Amino acid sequence: MDECSLRFLFDTTINALKDSSLPEYSQYTNALEEHGLSRKKIIESYNNIKEDMRNKCESRTTRLLLDRHKCTASFMIAVLNYLDVEENELSKEYFAIFIGLTILRMAIIEEGNITKNCTLINHLNDNGFSYPKCIRDDEPYVRTWALGIHYGRLSGKLSVLSTANSLYWIERFNRDLVGGC
């Protein structure tokens, strides 16, 4: 994501949080404001994580462009590492998921504008992201994902590739729901 896209993402997120009128999210808007130290650290960390991922994935002869899932996962991890807010019952993980799905949605919209296929965009506008049913229990998918992220953070084993894989399968699930577009 370039600087303009990052600014748009932060501003969109801040506006969505302000529109929600939930007092517990005011700390997030404060941390993400233009002058916020968290914002600068997140951008710097995102660029470092993305560059590290690129270096690990590319061959000697090819300069790799990371796909949207790896870029989004890099940003989610940067948010988890540097968003300076008080944590309460997976709140930071849920926020990272929220911002990650916002980025993924932006990428899907951009792709739809290029391909002129709006089937998935219409589905997301009408329903948001849909998630598969969990196999092991009746917990909501996002809660199970947030728990996985949380324990990955605690153990120091949260990876860009596993987070990107989750984003890919969520997108794939939603594409399959609307006929595989």
Contact 158, 91 (CB under 8 A): no
Q: Where are the alpha helices (DSSP H) in the chain?
A: 3-20, 26-32, 37-57, 68-82, 91-115, 119-127, 141-155, 160-177
- Per the model's pLDDT, the better-predicted residue between 146 and 19 turns out to be 146
What is the C-alpha radius of gyration for the chain, rounded to an integer number of angstroms?
A: 16
Can you tell me the distance from the alpha carbon of 92 to that of 90, in angstroms, rounded to the nearest whole number?
6
140: confidence class by pLDDT, cuts 50, 70, 90: very high
- Give the pTM: 0.87
Can you tell me the distance from the alpha carbon of 62 to that of 47, in angstroms, rounded to the nearest whole number?
19
pLDDT in tens, 72-118: 999 999 999 988 888 888 889 998 998 899 899 989 998 988 888 88
